[in-house]
Amino acid sequence: MLMIISPAKKMDFQVPVSIAKHSCAEMLDHSEVLMASLRTKTPQDICSLMGLSDKLGALNFERFQSWRQPFDSSNARQAILAFRGDVYQGLNAQKMDIQDLDWAQDHLRILSGLYGLLRPLDLIQPYRLEMGTKYPTNRGSDLYDFWGSTITDAINRHLTALNGSRPILVNLASNEYFKSVHPAEINAPILNPVFMDKKNDEYKIVSFYAKRARGEMAAFVVKNRIVDADGLKEFRESDYIHNPAMSDGNKLVFTRG
Is 192:252 a contact under the CB 8 Å cutoff?
A: yes
Output the pLDDT for position 188: 96
Q: In this predicted structure, what is the pLDDT of residue 163?
A: 75
Q: Which residues pair with 116 in a beta bridge?
A: 112
CA geometry: angle 69, 34, 118, nearest 5 deg = 65
Best CA proximity match to 124, nearest among 85, 84, 79, 81 = 79
Phi-psi region at 211: left, alpha or beta (left = phi > 0; alpha = psi -120 to 50): alpha
147 touches 176 (CB < 8 A):
no
Per-residue pLDDT tens digits of the chain, which is 257 residues long: 999 999 999 999 999 898 999 999 999 999 999 999 999 999 999 999 999 999 999 999 999 999 999 999 999 999 999 999 999 999 999 999 999 999 999 999 999 999 999 999 999 999 999 999 999 999 999 999 999 999 999 999 999 999 776 899 999 999 999 999 999 999 999 999 999 999 999 999 999 999 999 999 999 999 999 999 999 999 999 999 999 999 999 999 999 99
Report the predicted TM-score, pTM, of the whole model to 2 decimal places.
0.97
Distance CA 120, CA 182 (A): 22
